[in-house]
Structure 1
Amino acid sequence: MEDISRNTSENIKENNDISGNNDNGKIARIKELVKQLNDAAKKYYMEDTEIMSNLEYDALYDELSALEKETGMVMSNSPTVKVGYEVVSELPKEAHEHPMLSLDKTKDVGALASWLGGQKGVISWKMDGLTVVLTYENGEMIKAVTRGNGEIGEVITNNAKVFANVPHHIPYKGKLTIRGEAVIKYSDFNAINEKITDAESKYKNPRNLCSGSVRQLDNKITKERNVHFFAFNLVDGEDVDFHNSFKYQLDWLEQQGFTVVEHYLTDSAALPDKVREFSEKITENDFPSDGLVLMLDDLAYGRSLGTTAKFPRNAMAFKWADEEAITHLRYVEWSPSRTGLINPVAVFDPVELEGTTVSRASIHNVSILKSLALGEGDEIAVYKANMIIPQIARNLTMSGNVVIPAACPACGGETEIVREEGGAVSGVETLYCTNQFCPAKKLKSFSHYVSRNALNIDGLSEATIEKFIDEKILEELPDLYKLAAHREHIVELEGFGEKSYNKLVAAVDASRQTNMWRLVNGLGIANVGEATAKLMAKHFANDMDAMKKADVSAYVEIDGIGQVIAEDIVRYFENEKNCAIIDRLMAELTFVDEVSDTEQDLAGKVFVITGSLTHFDNRNQLKELIESRGGQVTGSVSAKTSYLINNDVNSTSSKNKKAKSLDVPIISEEDFLELIGQ
């Protein structure tokens, strides 16, 4: 992100006594008590362990209540707060009173110092989260709005009230508007992903997870994701003398109980050292950061500079140049997946990048492998995309001697190169294992079946599934529902016991009541994911027998399913073994219809989404909104397409050209939102 709503840090400066206010120590004590009491409650209710007596707990609780009354500051996660969960049908939009512009940026420390000149500046982190604007009146939070496109955001007040560290009440009673970053820490992100067994279903990065968590319609989910808020800018504060200092504003916000971005006052001479100090902390940070922000401390002078057409002149973003390292490729490892796709991974001599040792990088597909002309022993340049994901930047020697395997590394079955046709990956070559009974497919198949977008069976990690396969507990998918027959065996396994067994069986039993599309998705049919599974279940009215008997022409009739996918589906159902497994699964499951309170005003409409989005964090979010209102989303434009959504209406892309040739309306996001009355 490169906007004036600057990113933040959890490393909070301590002992900022800016006005002699004795409440600083009391607020610190409040936060300490909140943590102690929450830790005690968690141990007692979730782990059956007491770390303090009831008498001690009550005494600390009373102390906290008294301090909250005295200071007027109450944290969102305080045990004195009774959170009311609420589900809403949609997030309303609202225009920002003060629009948020993007920041100009540089990768040159010298240029940053030159920009600062003789002024004082405040330097802080630039984190990759979701910007939120909070408004307080009479000491109480009354509104929270996302950044959106900088001019219009979504109202998320209900969700902000369950952020882990946002004050519900503050001592200051005037009107206060602040900006900050909502983030999910790496530690929380990793903990959430550890519960997801299927590697392909794991969340990709903390920012996307945070964005989805903050914009939930059910704030109970937001609460569970442990979202934190870090203030970085004070927009409005009535009748407070901020001494014409941006740093003073941030320190004052700390006195109100907010967690504030780590910030330091600096001048151009000290700036290079400050940048270096920040860079040394990156590897230890519990949050994603892609740079720094430098803001002029002199508020009046900063305002007097105004803005350009794109940027404010009182702040500048600094982004570190990607650190590259030269190394040598040892070999390419080929990793099979549940669908038979075999992914190439580069293994190279270990190098240090951004403070960590790196020796592997995904190559993604055969096309990229060929374009890089990779060969064993080649000299390659590697880097970390966004300082996180290892990638190959270029190949300096390009020997091209890597041999694409003719046999699957897991089963020895024959492989084939498939050239994808149609959609965003048209022309991309990928490698597949043709052996339907490849053991790697079995492991990945179970992992996919229990994943969150399929049967959603919690607690079955890939390691556990592999152990159960090795122990002959799991052979085929229906065996998941026969674990009771192996109870004595399971409780004796290393890492298991009666409690773990009972928890696992309860999770499996919870999956017995499900939706038909989840089963269809969980079967692992080639090229059938969640969206296609929903189309199939809807078209055939949740009738599995009808799905099994349908021919290719019947599937092609479904908007969003083309010839290739239809052939894959029919081929799967023509296999007697697959059908036998489905019948056994059907005997274990009870199917329920999904009930939607949302108006089905898009029923019968077919949409195609292309290009970048502004109002939605990604295409999935827009797709889910369309489907929730009865519409369908497909990957390619056809005569059955109702609308092509593309913010670049005048683009000469192939989808735009095809839409125009078929007289399919091309609409922007704004047009779409107007279409549905938002």
Structure 2
Amino acid sequence: MQSEKTERIKYLVETLNRASKAYYAEDREIMSNREYDALYDELVSLEAQTGMVMANSPTVNVGYEAVEELPKERHETPMLSLDKTKSREDLRDWLEGHRAVLSWKLDGLTIVLTYREGKLEKAVTRGNGEIGEVITNNARTFVNLPLSIPFKGELVLRGEAVIRYSDFEKINEQIEETEAKYKNPRNLCSGSVRQLNNEITARRQVRFYAFSLVSGGEEAKEITTVEEQFRFLEDQGFETVEHYPVTEENILDTLDTFERKIENYDVPSDGLVLTYDDIAYGRSLGRTAKFPRNSIAFKWADELRETVLKEIEWSASRTGLINPVAIFAPVELEGTTVSRASVHNISIVRSLRLALGDRITVYKANMIIPQIAENLTAEELSAGAEGRTEEVRIQGSRCLVEIPKVCPVCGGPTEIRQVNDVQSLYCTNGKCPAKQVKSFTLFVSRDAMNIDGLSEATLEKFIDLGFIHEFADLFHLDRHREQIVEMEGFGEKSYRNLMDSIDRARNTTLPRVIYGLGIANIGAANAKMLCRYFDYDLEKMQKADVETLSAIDGVGEVIATAFVNYMQDTDNLRRIEALCGELVIEIPKIEEGSQTLSGLSFVITGSLNSFASRSELKDLIEQKGGKVTGSVTGKTTCLINNDVASASSKNKKARDLGIPVLSEEDFIRKYEIQAQE
């Protein structure tokens, strides 16, 4: 019965959140207010019955808070690593006739949670196994983590915080610049969990999967098997890692089951964990200096293929980083044909001692990413060179892959930079086309200058032909009319359409310009916020220091530093000046005393009478310095709802928090708002 209620709670949370997103973020309804309220009331009732409240439940409000630093704390029980094997037979033999549980080894960040009296009290990262960082405030934003549980004693458990591949891809889809995209879910999760501002963590869709019960008072002492531990944790509302009971008879078949799943499994994993099911037996085995003896990790045995290195391709990026890519004779790996593998950096190129024609072995890391495992030629020569003939020693010092002294794109000089122990190659030419094309792509995008007809491929052609070197050049493409008209895919009509689009773009706004410059961490919303703060005065913005910018609500030191660094660069200032000479920038008229809603926060719900839509009222509030959010919190000034007496969830929350609920008419009267004509 408890498990049925748990599943119902999770279903209601997901359904209500999906309905809220559709209504408030997408301006569409997928259920009526009556249906929503009925489901909401059912959720409230189930949470009261079970004592279980999920972190993403619409009945709770997780307050966002920034901290100066993450405090450190020593674990009561050290968190050891696991011994490992890649042999399926060794894994079976390890059982020695005992029953065990086989589960995913998730690839995220291990977290220790402590609950007291049914409430989440503390969350600490694994850290170095002895000392971790306290991230309780961030854990409260994990998508599927219970904030309240039925168990009222002290409960300590471990699990893995992860970001699913599907969520990782959605996050990256919102980032236009390729080089700014996150590299993998594991690194993004680690950074997200350890943020100083948990509002950032909340946006990253971090999930928690429990895998071990550390302690739970007398009730936990009665649990004798790992399978019972998993059931107990599931009854408390935790999602657990996928797991199966195994014996020597079925473990190899179960391994096959996991192996079939891994290619399409949405949760990042880097192997499996095998744990003796009998808890007392596992504890009786003790531990070594490094590993507990009750568990062992299984890593997939890499499928190796031998091939021949044909070429090293050097790929330049927008940041100037030049990545080495190995091109080799095609081989079949994990069911697909591969012929390329990133070598990542200069340090790896040198450690592998690569030369064209070398025999190498390649594999797919985690069965996904092609990598070079070994350089067989270099190892054989090294092993046989000592005491051999002069001819062999010459072969041993054969012509290794050369590190290019010039950029493969622009021909400009390169340099090797070392960060910690890693050496990487960079192009030093600030005008390198590889750096420019992504910048121009952002500049002409819809939220920036909104110039139609300039795809990334077209921009590359214009850069290669020398038509554009900086943003201002886009407004002088008419100088190259004859060449553009003759280009493939163009013609007189396409050229004219492009010129018309460029002419329209000359009349723009300062937020569009600021966003279009491509300053690190300055998105369209931040650009609008900064422009409003500085009264749309570009000169004031350029002279602002980090301290001033950091004090602005929603900015912070990282964004402030990036903005100041950009505006202090003399070349950037010259380019901005040249660009502004081509534009007519509309400056909104901000009458003295017009920012009457500055510092106030509002929530709008329901239909409106005096405004065409909630978006129209939102725009007007923002013009007057106010802020509109999607949910009622302790910081909300008032909730705007024409159905003041409604029993909706927003009205309930507002009343609980003592926040006034105003009709549209009362709001207009109180704040002297006038509907736009």
Given the two structures, how large is their TM-score scaled by the length of structure 2? Answer: 0.64
1:82 to 61, 65, 68: 61
* Aligned residues of 2:142 and 2:208 also touching (Cα < 8 A): yes
1:489 is matched with which residue?
A: 501
2:261 to 277, 281, 284: 281
2:297 is matched with which residue?
A: 317
- Alignment-mate amino acid for residue 119 of structure 2: E
1:271 is matched with which residue?
A: 251
* Aligned residues of 2:328 and 2:340 also touching (Cα < 8 A): yes
- Residue pairs, 1:229-628, within 5 angstroms: 229-240=208-219, 242-329=222-309, 331-338=311-318, 342-354=322-334, 357-364=337-344, 372-375=353-356, 380-395=360-375, 410=409, 414=411, 418=414, 420=416, 424=420, 430=425, 432=427, 437-446=431-440, 476-477=470-471, 489=501, 506-507=524-525, 509=528, 544=568, 580-581=574-575, 583-584=577-578
SS of the residue 1:234 aligns to: strand
Cα deviation for residue 326 of structure 1 reads 3.0
CA distance 1:355–1:143, change in 2 (3 Å): farther
Larger Rg: 2
Residue 114 (structure 1) aligned with residue 93 (structure 2): yes
CA distance 1:479–1:163, change in 2 (3 Å): farther
CA distance 1:289–1:480, change in 2 (3 Å): farther
- Residue pairs, 1:153-302, within 5 angstroms: 153-240=132-219, 242-302=222-282
Unaligned regions of 5+ residues in structure 2, if any?
379-397, 477-496, 506-511, 517-522, 535-540, 547-556, 588-677
* Aligned residues of 2:143 and 2:206 also touching (Cα < 8 A): yes
Alignment partners' CA distance in 2, 1:481 and 1:216: 42
SS of the residue 1:47 aligns to: coil
SS of the residue 1:239 aligns to: helix
CA distance 1:267–1:63, change in 2 (3 Å): same
Cα deviation for residue 307 of structure 1 reads 1.7
SS of the residue 2:25 aligns to: helix
CA distance 1:464–1:170, change in 2 (3 Å): farther
* Aligned residues of 1:124 and 1:294 also touching (Cα < 8 A): yes
SS of the residue 2:218 aligns to: coil
CA distance 1:582–1:356, change in 2 (3 Å): same
Alignment partners' CA distance in 2, 1:139 and 1:155: 19
User: Per-residue CA shift, 1:11-65, capped at 9, x if unaligned?
Assistant: xxxxxxxxxxx11111111111111111111111111121111121111111211
- Alignment-mate amino acid for residue 179 of structure 2: E
* Aligned residues of 2:449 and 2:513 also touching (Cα < 8 A): no
User: Per-residue CA shift, 1:297-333, capped at 9, x if unaligned?
Assistant: 1111112222222221211111123222234556544
Residue 37 (structure 1) aligned with residue 22 (structure 2): no
* Aligned residues of 2:440 and 2:471 also touching (Cα < 8 A): yes
Cα deviation for residue 228 of structure 1 reads 0.2
User: Per-residue CA shift, 1:259-303, capped at 9, x if unaligned?
Assistant: 011111111232222222212211111122111111111111112
Alignment partners' CA distance in 1, 2:60 and 2:474: 41
SS of the residue 1:162 aligns to: coil
* Aligned residues of 1:374 and 1:395 also touching (Cα < 8 A): no
Cα deviation for residue 366 of structure 1 reads 6.7
CA distance 1:422–1:167, change in 2 (3 Å): closer
Alignment partners' CA distance in 2, 1:481 and 1:184: 43
- Alignment-mate amino acid for residue 318 of structure 1: F
Alignment partners' CA distance in 2, 1:131 and 1:487: 55
- Alignment-mate amino acid for residue 501 of structure 2: H
| Percent of residue pairs identical | 53
2:2 to 17, 23, 31: 23
Q: Number of aligned residue pairs: give it.
A: 505
CA distance 1:208–1:67, change in 2 (3 Å): same
- Alignment-mate amino acid for residue 237 of structure 1: G
CA distance 1:260–1:424, change in 2 (3 Å): closer
User: Per-residue CA shift, 1:551-589, capped at 9, x if unaligned?
Assistant: xxxxxxxxxxxxxxxxxxxxxx6xxxx763154479999
2:38 to 59, 63, 66: 59
CA distance 1:264–1:425, change in 2 (3 Å): closer
Alignment partners' CA distance in 2, 1:341 and 1:357: 28
Cα deviation for residue 254 of structure 1 reads 0.8
Cα deviation for residue 205 of structure 1 reads 2.0
SS of the residue 2:370 aligns to: strand
Unaligned regions of 5+ residues in structure 1, if any?
1-21, 494-499, 520-529, 549-572, 591-678
- Alignment-mate amino acid for residue 375 of structure 1: L
SS of the residue 2:73 aligns to: strand
2:106 is matched with which residue?
A: 127
Alignment partners' CA distance in 2, 1:222 and 1:457: 27
Alignment partners' CA distance in 2, 1:222 and 1:344: 33
CA distance 1:37–1:68, change in 2 (3 Å): same
- Alignment-mate amino acid for residue 292 of structure 1: L
Alignment partners' CA distance in 1, 2:138 and 2:424: 43
Higher relative contact order (CA 8 A, sep 6+): 1
Given the two structures, how large is their TM-score scaled by the length of structure 1? Answer: 0.64
User: Per-residue CA shift, 1:583-622, capped at 9, x if unaligned?
Assistant: 44799999xxxxxxxxxxxxxxxxxxxxxxxxxxxxxxxx
**Structure 1 residues 501-510 or 112-121, which shifts more?**
501-510
Cα deviation for residue 345 of structure 1 reads 2.2
SS of the residue 2:160 aligns to: strand
2:493 is matched with which residue?
A: none
User: Per-residue CA shift, 1:320-351, capped at 9, x if unaligned?
Assistant: 23222234556544423346554442344554
1:91 is matched with which residue?
A: 70
Alignment partners' CA distance in 1, 2:209 and 2:147: 15
Alignment partners' CA distance in 2, 1:36 and 1:66: 16
Alignment partners' CA distance in 1, 2:265 and 2:449: 29
Alignment partners' CA distance in 1, 2:339 and 2:542: 42
1:138 is matched with which residue?
A: 117
SS of the residue 1:124 aligns to: strand
* Aligned residues of 2:162 and 2:206 also touching (Cα < 8 A): yes
Alignment partners' CA distance in 2, 1:367 and 1:144: 37
* Aligned residues of 1:290 and 1:387 also touching (Cα < 8 A): no
User: Per-residue CA shift, 1:190-244, capped at 9, x if unaligned?
Assistant: 2222323333333222222111111112111111111000000001112326441
Alignment partners' CA distance in 1, 2:255 and 2:335: 16
